[in-house]
Amino acid sequence: MCGIIGYVGGSSAEPILVEGLRRLEYRGYDSAGLAICNGGVLTCTKVAGKIARLEEEIDGRELPGQCGIAHTRWATHGPPTQDNAHPHTDCSGKIALVHNGIIENYAYLKDTLEKEGHVFTSETDSEVLVHLIEKYFKGNLESAVQQALQWVTGTYGIGVVAVDDPGKIVGARNGSPLVVGIGNGEYFLASDVPAILRHTRQVIYLDDQELVVLTKDGLRTSTIADNEAVTKIVQEISWDVDRAEKEGYAHFMLKEIYEQARTVSDAISGRTVQDDGTARLGGLNLTDEQLRSTKRVIITACGTSFHAGLIGEYMLEEWARIPVEVEYASEFRYRNPVIEDGTLCIVISQSGETADTLAAMREARRRGARALGICNVVGSMIAREADGGVYIHAGPEIGVASTKAFTSQVVVLSLITLLMGRMRHMSVADGQRTIAALRALPGQIQTILEQADEIKRIAKIYCEHDNFLYLGRGCNYPVALEGALKLKEISYIHAEGYPAAEMKHGPIALITKHMPVVVIATKDSAYEKVMGNLSEVKARRGRILAIATEGDSEIKNHAEHVFYIPPTLQALTPVLSVIPLQLLAYYIAVMRECNVDQPRNLAKSVTVE
């Protein structure tokens, strides 16, 4: 949530900052701004609205200077107005700051600073930071930032510049991501890698409680607490800049849906052992004995990742015969969860920085569970704090609605299941069958994607409706939840996901011809039961769109529209059945002229509780 970019070097800062902001816009798009130092002058420009508004505002004006910071906001404290936009400046207008995170003791700090004569111009929590830095500033910016942060409780990733300490950006991190890009005589500070990838692949990830000073001649990292120098490892980003571009697709979401044949293949690649019918996962940091003696698994996550977790539950119980509980991270952390010996906590997060998920993982570890992270963003908080983990390697997911991360999460869960299952009840033959099914998935996904026009045609028929019900059973129940979530978040249509049989205990009252029912009715052990549920819908004149298995002609007697997907193992069906639902939500949102990549009120990474 909120995107930060900073630049210091030999080039004009403004175009670099604006371009970086565009690449970070998925992190928030309520308001935007930038501050550039040029000699003794600090120019600060900010607007309510998206980056495009900021560009309009700047258009035609010269913003000279080779050192600056910029921000795109997702509002927490104070509405998305120009005053609340970042950067925030101190009373003299000579220090500017951008912030991502939440300052928990801001009310106390603001009160104290106001009594000391500081004048605030926004309702944000962030503004206290710049006044606090002003209070300690005596010509050395890093020293002022370091002293100011001693008073702060909360999370922050910040970038600060001051005209009286020119050519310098100070960054600091506690709980909100910051990455430093190392160029040739130039340095970058950003919330996320895509913002700087056009300029450099050499990066340093700041850790919590670290501060960095950037000038065009070099960088210094130190601890915030006592200014002790810290040596950081420079890492090379391997994916190329195209993976963070739309590459001709109308939206990132569509591009990411279409990437799934490759991303699923990447998630599997090199991780199966054909002869033994098992999986090989490098980063688990668990011995075979620890894996074998796992008595119980707790999966915790939010949103789409939570839905992947529900499928993981189904797989682990079915194939590995391990009892599993899946909990919303936001609930788990505030309960008093029972963690017994032998509990493994699997934490799923695309971004690796979701505040609730991170807190749930910390709680589980505090109580003695070992935590395995399933993350996409390399070097993210959850990935680093977990005892071990598996990267899904899906590449940057920019669309706010998660798509390719979901299918890769499910695949990684199936690999963990395969590994644990083979240590328990699963035979070599079953393991090999699973591997064959996994390897077939990318080709099957491609087949589905080639029929996207059919989903588009169906979307046209249904796009006017304002309420939808999604039904599924077994491992397709979480797919119903995920299909409904996709529709809700990008087209603002009310949609509910339900276990198909549960419908008759209440939601059936909603069924009319105006409430389409989307059902995942693949040929599996629940098929006949689902047909019964569909008859109940039909008897009430409900309109049905079914996702069915190729070759199933019976389904046409029940459903008005049918979309076929290839057959696979029951537990892997979600990897295929979710794709037409992603496309359906996408096309309906486009037809309703919604902003697909930046749906209202949402941000990609939810770093607040």
| Among residues 182, 302, 412, 534, the one that binds ligand M6R under rule CB under 6 A | 302
Q: Which is nearer to ligand M6R, 286 or 481 (CB)?
A: 481
Q: Which is nearer to ligand M6R, 181 or 483 (CB)?
A: 483
**Which helix H or strand E contains 421, and what residues bound it?**
helix 404-422
Please, what's the largest Cα pairwise distance for the chain? 79
Q: Kindly state the smallest distance separating residue 201's Cβ from ligand M6R, in Å.
A: 23
Q: How many CB atoms lie within 10 A of CB 167?
A: 15
Q: Which is nearer to ligand M6R, 221 or 403 (CB)?
A: 403
Measured CA to CA, the distance from residue 453 to residue 50 in angstroms comes to 31
CB-based contacts of 452-457 (< 8 A; 24+ apart in sequence): 452/583, 454/563, 455/563, 455/580, 455/583, 455/584, 455/587, 456/583, 456/587
| Among residues 45, 272, 343, 402, the one that binds ligand M6R under rule CB under 6 A | 402
DSSP H helical ranges for 271-403: 288-292, 303-315, 329-332, 355-366, 381-385
Q: Under a CB-based contact definition with an 8 Å cutoff, are residues 561 and 458 in contact? A: yes
Q: Which of 530, 523, 529, 526 is nearest to 565 (CA)?
A: 523
Q: Under a CB-based contact definition with an 8 Å cutoff, are residues 345 and 364 in contact? A: yes
Q: Which is nearer to ligand M6R, 305 or 408 (CB)?
A: 305
Binding to ligand M6R by residue 481, rule CB under 6 A? no
Catalytic residue among 2, 37, 345, 594: 2
Task: Name the segment binding ligand M6R (CB under 6 A); options: 276-284, 384-392, 399-407, 557-565.
Answer: 399-407
Binding to ligand M6R by residue 582, rule CB under 6 A? no
Q: Kindly state the smallest distance separating residue 602's Cβ from ligand M6R, in Å.
A: 6
Binding to ligand M6R by residue 351, rule CB under 6 A? yes
Binding to ligand M6R by residue 489, rule CB under 6 A? yes
| Among residues 400, 411, 416, 500, the one that binds ligand M6R under rule CB under 6 A | 400
Q: Which of 88, 94, 91, 120 is nearest to 107 (CA)?
A: 120
Q: Which of 115, 172, 162 is nearest to 140 (CA)?
A: 162
Q: Which of 477, 454, 314, 308 is nearest to 394 (CA)?
A: 308
Residue 302 annotated in active site: no
Binding to ligand M6R by residue 305, rule CB under 6 A? yes
In this structure, what DSSP letter does residue 324 have? E
Q: Under a CB-based contact definition with an 8 Å cutoff, are residues 239 and 396 in contact? A: yes
Binding to ligand M6R by residue 100, rule CB under 6 A? no
Half-sphere exposure of residue 58, counting CA atoms within 13 Å on the CB side? 22
Residue 2 annotated in active site: yes
Binding to ligand M6R by residue 176, rule CB under 6 A? no
Q: Which is nearer to ligand M6R, 51 or 398 (CB)?
A: 398
Q: Kindly state the smallest distance separating residue 349's Cβ from ligand M6R, in Å.
A: 3
Q: Which is nearer to ligand M6R, 33 or 303 (CB)?
A: 303
Q: Kindly state the smallest distance separating residue 222's Cβ from ligand M6R, in Å.
A: 30
Measured CA to CA, the distance from residue 538 to residue 489 in angstroms comes to 28
Query: Binding marks (x or -) toward ligand M6R, 589..608, rule CB under 6 A?
Result: -------------x--xx--
Q: Where are the beta strands (DSSP E) in 200-318?
A: 202-205, 210-215, 218-223, 235-236, 272-273, 278-279, 296-301
Amino acid at 596: V
Binding to ligand M6R by residue 266, rule CB under 6 A? no
Length of the chain in terms of residues written: 609
Q: Kindly state the smallest distance separating residue 81's Cβ from ligand M6R, in Å.
A: 25
Query: Binding marks (x or -) toward ligand M6R, 353..372, rule CB under 6 A?
Result: -x--x---------------
Binding to ligand M6R by residue 263, rule CB under 6 A? no
Q: Which is nearer to ligand M6R, 110 or 404 (CB)?
A: 404
- Residues in contact with ligand M6R, total (CB under 6 A)? 16
| Among residues 76, 124, 278, 350, the one that binds ligand M6R under rule CB under 6 A | 350
* 530: Cβ contacts below 8 Å, ≥ 6 apart: 471, 472, 473, 500, 519, 521
Residues lying near ligand M6R in the complex (CB under 6 A) are found at: 302-305, 349-351, 354, 357, 400-402, 489, 602, 605-606
Report, as residue numbers or ranges, the catalytic residues. Answer: 2, 604
